[in-house]
Amino acid sequence: MTPADARAADEIRLDFARGERVGVGEAIFCAGKSAGQLAAILDAAAERQARFLLTRLSVEAHAALPDRHRGGLDYDPVSRTAFFGGAPAAGRGGVVAVVAAGTSDAPAAREAERTLRFNGVAPTMIFDVGVAGLWRLLERVEEIAAHRVVIAAAGMDAALPTVLGGLVPGVLIALPTSTGYGVARNGETALAAVLASCAPGIVAVNIDNGYGAAVAALRAVRPLP
Amino acid sequence: MTPADARAADEIRLDFARGERVGVGEAIFCAGKSAGQLAAILDAAAERQARFLLTRLSVEAHAALPDRHRGGLDYDPVSRTAFFGGAPAAGRGGVVAVVAAGTSDAPAAREAERTLRFNGVAPTMIFDVGVAGLWRLLERVEEIAAHRVVIAAAGMDAALPTVLGGLVPGVLIALPTSTGYGVARNGETALAAVLASCAPGIVAVNIDNGYGAAVAALRAVRPLP
Amino acid sequence: MTPADARAADEIRLDFARGERVGVGEAIFCAGKSAGQLAAILDAAAERQARFLLTRLSVEAHAALPDRHRGGLDYDPVSRTAFFGGAPAAGRGGVVAVVAAGTSDAPAAREAERTLRFNGVAPTMIFDVGVAGLWRLLERVEEIAAHRVVIAAAGMDAALPTVLGGLVPGVLIALPTSTGYGVARNGETALAAVLASCAPGIVAVNIDNGYGAAVAALRAVRPLP
Amino acid sequence: MTPADARAADEIRLDFARGERVGVGEAIFCAGKSAGQLAAILDAAAERQARFLLTRLSVEAHAALPDRHRGGLDYDPVSRTAFFGGAPAAGRGGVVAVVAAGTSDAPAAREAERTLRFNGVAPTMIFDVGVAGLWRLLERVEEIAAHRVVIAAAGMDAALPTVLGGLVPGVLIALPTSTGYGVARNGETALAAVLASCAPGIVAVNIDNGYGAAVAALRAVRPLP
Amino acid sequence: MTPADARAADEIRLDFARGERVGVGEAIFCAGKSAGQLAAILDAAAERQARFLLTRLSVEAHAALPDRHRGGLDYDPVSRTAFFGGAPAAGRGGVVAVVAAGTSDAPAAREAERTLRFNGVAPTMIFDVGVAGLWRLLERVEEIAAHRVVIAAAGMDAALPTVLGGLVPGVLIALPTSTGYGVARNGETALAAVLASCAPGIVAVNIDNGYGAAVAALRAVRPLP
Amino acid sequence: MTPADARAADEIRLDFARGERVGVGEAIFCAGKSAGQLAAILDAAAERQARFLLTRLSVEAHAALPDRHRGGLDYDPVSRTAFFGGAPAAGRGGVVAVVAAGTSDAPAAREAERTLRFNGVAPTMIFDVGVAGLWRLLERVEEIAAHRVVIAAAGMDAALPTVLGGLVPGVLIALPTSTGYGVARNGETALAAVLASCAPGIVAVNIDNGYGAAVAALRAVRPLP
Amino acid sequence: MTPADARAADEIRLDFARGERVGVGEAIFCAGKSAGQLAAILDAAAERQARFLLTRLSVEAHAALPDRHRGGLDYDPVSRTAFFGGAPAAGRGGVVAVVAAGTSDAPAAREAERTLRFNGVAPTMIFDVGVAGLWRLLERVEEIAAHRVVIAAAGMDAALPTVLGGLVPGVLIALPTSTGYGVARNGETALAAVLASCAPGIVAVNIDNGYGAAVAALRAVRPLP
Amino acid sequence: MTPADARAADEIRLDFARGERVGVGEAIFCAGKSAGQLAAILDAAAERQARFLLTRLSVEAHAALPDRHRGGLDYDPVSRTAFFGGAPAAGRGGVVAVVAAGTSDAPAAREAERTLRFNGVAPTMIFDVGVAGLWRLLERVEEIAAHRVVIAAAGMDAALPTVLGGLVPGVLIALPTSTGYGVARNGETALAAVLASCAPGIVAVNIDNGYGAAVAALRAVRPLP
């Protein structure tokens, strides 16, 4: 092991422990890590026969992985996630719905979906129900309202969670996305809008944080230890 | 005339000309003017037998006016507006609707109403149609959509204009209000949300600017000179 | 009924419907409403024999209510809430915990507590467990972790939810408060900190929104309709 | 159809419906969509023999389209718009003017022009009338003032809409642009300036939102359904 | 002298030296100082037979001064300034013009005027020349342009300096004011607008800083030492 | 004890523990606490014969305390601090200097001084050394540079710490203050300026946080346990 | 001429008039213009035998110009400026000084220098006089103070203009630069710091606006027309 | 020497003097300097046989250096620092600890480490002790607390310094990093959180400013001159 490798190993121990105590599978946040660092993490994981989820793994970062690791990953370029250690089994359905206002919200919505699947939940995915086309949303409200948890992904002005807030009784997690331009301010407006919503009891996660929305949903639907 | 009076007279000439060229009646923005300055303006107006609208005239500022002026004003404390020189005649109906999401939006909505009435338009006023109570809004959509111009007053996350944006074909003016707290940020979130809305063709005015929303509506419904 | 009363009645219809569809009791947000408007609301409520919760009812606004209403209210000055129509029965315990980092967070934490009680849940209240005095928090972690939902109220840098995020498995709702000065920025820093937290699955509500945090908790612990 | 294609198809349904109900032609916002997604959209559109407008289609994204689609598009690189399904007929003239303060405002102004043309309106285009060269603007004021709607595109400090606000009687839509640097803040200053303008009745759209400005103009000049 | 007095005396030495080296008379910024501190400053000044200018002396702070000091001050409530040690002689005319867009800009414009007078310059004062009433401004442009320095006070969107920037050849100092509401953001928008202006060579001072604008003008018109 | 008192007692336990572990005396942050809450804290402290420091105790809050507590406090209205349990003995001199740019910075500088004195350090206090009067500062640089720790209090543009940064070798703690108006932005500009300073090794505390600056100084000059 | 060329010609007329009325030579702001647009401007200029200054002409944009234009330009890559129509004659010296705090401020300082030279003024250039190395600055203060106008370029915390403000009597123009990272915020902190400075009479231009600082200096030193 | 070289030499003098007076070795901030400028600096340094530290030297900038300089540098790509003039001797241990919350904080933490080593201090490096994995941190608290100075590097919500603030008695320097996305706002949230922390006596440096944190530590541990 070179000194550089040793130093890198020193720095990466934390990520393996992430999420363990609260009962969700391990996850590695890949943004800002070099191909070398990622390879070192995967080597260590392979040795431990660990199973975990990689998030924010860009197409370029995925392509730069060594063949020995890239082959074993179940990678999805839209959500930029990968399953390491085998794909999850079919999950529990009917408890979580992921609703997206528009096609631009797909990356965040798919990140939530993949995180849920990795942890044994098969969400109902509903796209194309933005508020600007209200009737299409209303047609599906009854279906949506039957879930214990609804994750609503929306950018720009994020009116979708507010409309759902008056229509669904379960946990409603707003997932603001960075869709839009100008005063959309990379998702800041969407985030502020859902937090300021007068529809009661909406909660929010960080902008584009599909992973966090999914873990919050898992906290609501799993039995306590 | 004291030197102080002379100086004040120097400073106030501008306001009388406001709005004339574009075909709306004169208006005086009263916020930040002392009772003395306001009295001087009204004296000058009375001399010219002018007729005009006072906006942002607080209850305290109204009470501090000399009796000779306060008596002649048609004052409304909710909108903080007053008609000087006589109340307007019954206006033209059916062309402009003012829709408010909640009771807290009343001051801005009423300022728009009063400005329209002062300029000969009798708006349809529709309160209590926030998005969190969606069915109530939907019951009245057809009525709303029949107007050439719709002014939609809403604070917090201001989802109302977005929902209307997909349902009404006329000019849709969002009037963001400072209702709310925390990330509502005194109306900044409502303003950003309506500007970032994916519903096409929504336009906006400044926060709580009921006067401006009304003048914009007048620009759309009056015959050009 | 005077014209002013009639106009006020027009404007206030919305608030009665709030929250009904999603299964929580009615609530009235009182900030920004005059004593006259509040009295009109309470008159209407008394006529309907309705039972509801008043939030953001300041000590001054409470004192300005007519005697006929003030007498019947169960008012709490710290949380600025009141129960109209009788105090709630003893609620369901052991499912929701409200944890506050410091004494300055009491208003928001108590607003959450009162909202829960109004809706039939008796929360476990735990004060004085800020991160700067870590051992005190650790002594009570096991107790806290046994609840399905934990509401963590904290201002300034809001480190409490992050620490809890790695220790409790249930739904974790961060309630940022406006405690602090300077770069605390009236709660904006606390809000951003909890949303940016690396502890997985924390969700947040608006600054000082104890009502919203409680309704979110209710969404998680009630049976679906 | 591959699974990836099926998922993409799921995600894109919304865009086709956009704008239909309010009486403007369909439009696709292309920013953030991959060449594959765009091709899928165009395939579906070709099948339906639909006619629509593409906005925010960058030169690179246009070049990356399959030949079968690129050939049939009427593409303009300045406005980054394309007509799919044939160029529009000569439109109605004399009702809408698009005025731009400087050459840097051309992309937004041209996006407005193309959107208007797509929907049957031939706008009067007036460039080079910034406020810093006031006489040139004044020479053309009479011409500008004869239109029912004036769209004024300007960046930096956006003084043009304010000057026009006192000179033209019709609907005045400010189109702030991201021109400038430093405190121009990517158009935020231009947007705030037009909203804070003391010239009465100016309305605004999002930064660089030429499409939205045009749809707002269409709302003002079309007969109601 | 009490210990408290001694401590206060320690703290206030700085203000007497302010501005000396750069050739302008002494000035005391009074905001945030108690009546006791102000009295101590005036006592010390009287002892030294000093002559100086007080700025930001509110009506309340002026009224709270001891009679021995209040009598000797030439106080102006609009600009909140006072001359201590006698009124200045008639100043040099024709070199500096102070132009204000509206009546709300009077406090800042008057603060500039009084500072100039205190330092031997008699400015030309021109009110009521906002851009929304363009012809009135154009009538006086030739007069304004004849001055070596023009101070242009404007709030809201502050279009006045931009229009003047293309019309006057001398030093043009923009004095943004806190006039307005909502996105006027207490003068931040006016400041950003004048700095982002495309009219070449405009310089700016802090919001409402009439004193600073006047000192900058003095720097331009006095002979170097 | 009334139920309200019991609840208050529950909420206030935290503050007593503050700072103990890191070796500084106990301190109570009084802002936002009612007279009743403060009295309860002092009662408990008296019972324990505790000695502690009160910060942010406004003149009004001090006056509202019960006589039994007010008499025993050593209160300073400028710094808004009080010693409970007796004044501290003469402290260790020559190790910490507190330097203030102007008289408006006195409250923060005095809060630092009082905190140091409470903990056994007698700081050298140097006022009136702002950068605009550079020679006065340079005269005292040698004296300042002889201290292990220098706390530099400055508002507005806070140039003082930068100038000192190149002249003193010890720990340099910038204490930005909320002095100023407009773009001073309540101290945000001063804070950003000191953090962005090119003078190496300057550290900062929150705006107006004289208490925190003093505790940081104590961390540097005390022997480790 | 192709239709595209004709449209481009329509759009670019404005820039030729820029600055004429106020007595400075013509300037073209090149950022955001394509090579084609720039070539069209230069063709038109060559036809008119015009002489002008190009600003914000990046190395890449300069390299992309047609040979017929690139050869005739006097281009400087640091300031990103070019003289078209011949280099200026030796200018008037001793009236304007440009002072830069550090090497990173060279682009803005050089843009000011080149603009001054183009307009007949030969500035004194003084680099390497940052406040962190105070003695070097003090050695040259007398020389700097002898100029009618001093332009002070500085980024990060921009303490240089404040220090100069107390030492030089002439016009002092702060030129904030985007040097730095983190809370330097691309020059926003430098700009706010110079505007909030307590040194009297400092004026500012936009971030990195060396051109504007130079034109302001020209306004101060040229004879009025 | 070409004229361009001469001008570059003029501009770069400042950096050599940096830090000398306060007793730390010379450092060159390389961001924003071209390869040519850097080579000129190194040439001058080699001539003087100077020894210094280069910071923010990106991998690309390092690779672009001439061979004669690149060979003699001790370059570390993670911290982007280089030692010129030979590696430092083994330093003084046990006085400074650098603690990092996660692997993404390594660049800033390593920059601090390298700066300390360059100046004769060998810090204790502790990675992988984020608050989300609290037990791992607690295991090492005693070791951390034994140092005179602790530098705590953390991004996102930066809870680590707050937790340490209650556990370690020495100087605690928070080093906020730009780790994270969305509301992490490139480190602004981490910075605000550490400054708003209720743990007493935490001081902060600019975002990602490992160099500044290290110099601050040196100020605390070196004997005064």
Contact (Cβ atoms closer than 8 angstroms) between residue C131 and residue H194: no
Which chain D positions have a beta carbon within 8 Å of A128's beta carbon?
10-14
> Does the structure show a pLDDT above 70 at H9?
no
Q: What is the pLDDT of residues B78-122, one digit of tens each?
A: 999 999 988 788 899 999 999 999 888 999 999 999 999 999 999
DSSP one-letter code for B5: H
Contact H159 C194 (CB under 8 A): no
Tokens of H175: 């080093």
**C-alpha to C-alpha distance for A219 and C122, rounded to whole angstroms:** 21
Taking CB atoms and an 8 Å cut-off, how many pairs form between chains F and H?
Answer: 111
User: How many CB atoms within 10 Å of residue C199?
Assistant: 30
Contact G181 H206 (CB under 8 A): yes
Contact B31 E181 (CB under 8 A): yes
Which chain D positions have a beta carbon within 8 Å of B146's beta carbon?
224
Residue of E nearest to D165 (CA): E132
Contact G24 E201 (CB under 8 A): yes
**C-alpha to C-alpha distance for C79 and C77, rounded to whole angstroms:** 6
Which chains touch G (3+ CB pairs under 8 A)?
A: D, E, F, H
Contact G219 E172 (CB under 8 A): yes
Which chain E positions have a beta carbon within 8 Å of B7's beta carbon?
78
**C-alpha to C-alpha distance for H100 and H82, rounded to whole angstroms:** 21
Which chains touch H (3+ CB pairs under 8 A)?
A: A, C, F, G
Q: Which of C22, C144, C221 to mutate to test the interface with A (most CBs of A within 10 A)?
A: C22
Out of F148, F169, F206, the one facing H22 most closely (by C-beta) is: F169
Q: What is the pLDDT of residues A97-107, one digit of tens each?
A: 999 998 889 99
Contacts of G152 by beta carbon, 8 Å cutoff, 6+ apart: G99, G100, G101, G160, G161, G164, G172, G173, G174, G175
| Interface check C167 vs A, CB under 8 A | yes
Cα Rg of chain C, angstroms: 18
- pLDDT the model gives residue D1: 43
Alpha helix (H) residue ranges in E74-154: 106-118, 134-139, 141-145
Q: Which of D5, D11, D16, D178 to mutate to test the interface with A (most CBs of A within 10 A)?
A: D11
**C-alpha to C-alpha distance for A172 and C219, rounded to whole angstroms:** 8
Which chain H positions have a beta carbon within 8 Å of F191's beta carbon?
195
Instruction: Please state the rounded mean pLDDT for residues B181-208.
Output: 96
Contact C162 H165 (CB under 8 A): no
Percent of chain D surpassing pLDDT 90: 62
Query: What is the separation of C-alpha F139 from the centre of its chain, rounded to a whole number of angstroms?
Result: 26
**C-alpha to C-alpha distance for H35 and H52, rounded to whole angstroms:** 17
Which chain C positions have a beta carbon within 8 Å of H168's beta carbon?
none
Residue of H nearest to C104 (CA): H198
Q: What is the pLDDT of residues E30-72, one digit of tens each?
A: 998 877 778 888 888 888 777 889 999 999 999 999 998 888 8
> Does the structure show a pLDDT above 70 at G3?
no
**C-alpha to C-alpha distance for E147 and B100, rounded to whole angstroms:** 51
Nearest CA-CA partner of E195 in E215, E176, E210, E214:
E176
DSSP one-letter code for A183: G
Work out the minimum CA distance from D96 to partner chain E, whole angstroms: 22
Contact A19 C216 (CB under 8 A): no
- Least confident range from D47-51, D175-179, H151-155: namely D47-51
For residue E211, name the pLDDT band (cuts at 50, 70, 90).
Answer: very high
Nearest CA-CA partner of G97 in G205, G169, G179:
G169
Which tops the pLDDT comparison, E130 or F34? E130
**C-alpha to C-alpha distance for E44 and B34, rounded to whole angstroms:** 35
φ, ψ of residue A174 in degrees (nearest 5):
-85, 130
Contact A146 C224 (CB under 8 A): yes
Taking CB atoms and an 8 Å cut-off, how many pairs form between chains G and H?
Answer: 51
User: Which residues 132-161 on chain G approach chain F with CB closer than 8 angstroms?
Assistant: 132-134, 156-159
> Does the structure show a pLDDT above 50 at F57?
yes
Q: Which of F10, F14, F33 to mutate to test the interface with C (most CBs of C within 10 A)?
A: F14
Contact (Cβ atoms closer than 8 angstroms) between residue G16 and residue G9: no
Instruction: Please state the rounded mean pLDDT for residues B189-217.
Output: 96
> Which residue is listed with tokens 């000439």?
B13
For residue H5, name the pLDDT band (cuts at 50, 70, 90).
Answer: low
Query: What is the separation of C-alpha B172 from the centre of its chain, rounded to a whole number of angstroms?
Result: 15
Q: Do chains G and B touch (3 or more CB pairs under 8 A)?
A: no
Instruction: Please state the rounded mean pLDDT for residues C156-164.
Output: 94
One-letter-per-residue 3-state SS of B79-147: CCEEEECCCCCCCEEEEEEEEECCHHHHHHHHHHHHHHHHCCEEEEEECCCCHHHHHHHHHCHHHHHCC
Out of A21, A148, A202, the one facing C166 most closely (by C-beta) is: A21
> Does the structure show a pLDDT above 90 at F98?
yes
Percent of chain B surpassing pLDDT 90: 62
Q: What is the pLDDT of residues B53-78, one digit of tens each?
A: 999 999 999 999 999 888 889 999 99
Q: What is the pLDDT of residues H49-101, one digit of tens each?
A: 778 899 999 999 999 999 988 888 999 999 999 999 887 888 999 999 999 99
Which chain G positions have a beta carbon within 8 Å of E185's beta carbon?
none
Nearest CA-CA partner of D35 in D10, D2, D60:
D60
Average pLDDT value for chain C: 88
> Does the structure show a pLDDT above 60 at C18?
no
- Least confident range from E130-134, F171-175, H25-29, H96-100: namely E130-134
| Interface check C31 vs B, CB under 8 A | yes
Tokens of A137: 């949303």
| Interface check D40 vs G, CB under 8 A | no
Contact F167 H21 (CB under 8 A): yes
Work out the minimum CA distance from C116 to partner chain B, whole angstroms: 21
Which chain A positions have a beta carbon within 8 Å of D33's beta carbon?
103-104
Tokens of G56: 């914000």
> Which residue is listed with tokens 């403007």?
D24
Instruction: Please state the rounded mean pLDDT for residues G37-66.
Output: 88
Contact (Cβ atoms closer than 8 angstroms) between residue A181 and residue A189: no
- pLDDT the model gives residue A72: 84
Q: Do chains D and H touch (3 or more CB pairs under 8 A)?
A: no
Question: Please, what's the b/e burial string for D7-24 (b: 16 or more CB within 10 A of its CB; e: otherwise)?
Answer: bbbebbbbbbbbbebbbb
Out of C180, C197, C200, the one facing H196 most closely (by C-beta) is: C180
Question: Please, what's the b/e burial string for B5-31 (b: 16 or more CB within 10 A of its CB; e: otherwise)?
Answer: eebbbebbbbbbbbbebbbbbbbbbbe
Q: Do chains H and G touch (3 or more CB pairs under 8 A)?
A: yes
Taking CB atoms and an 8 Å cut-off, how many pairs form between chains B and D?
Answer: 110
Pairing of strands D52-55, D81-84: antiparallel
Average pLDDT value for chain A: 88
Which chains touch A (3+ CB pairs under 8 A)?
A: B, C, D, H
For residue F41, name the pLDDT band (cuts at 50, 70, 90).
Answer: confident
Which chains touch F (3+ CB pairs under 8 A)?
A: C, E, G, H
- pLDDT the model gives residue F184: 96
Question: Please, what's the b/e burial string for E11-50 (b: 16 or more CB within 10 A of its CB; e: otherwise)?
Answer: bbbbbbbbbebbbbbbbbbbebbebebbbbbbeebeeeee
Q: Do chains H and C touch (3 or more CB pairs under 8 A)?
A: yes
Q: What is the pLDDT of residues G52-107, one digit of tens each?
A: 899 999 999 999 999 988 888 999 999 999 999 887 888 999 999 999 998 889 99
Sheet with strand G74-76: strands edge to edge: G26-29, G52-55, G81-84, G74-76
Which chain E positions have a beta carbon within 8 Å of D199's beta carbon?
131-132
Q: Return the SS3 of E160.
A: helix
The H or E element that residue E52 is part of is strand E52-55
Contact F183 G196 (CB under 8 A): yes
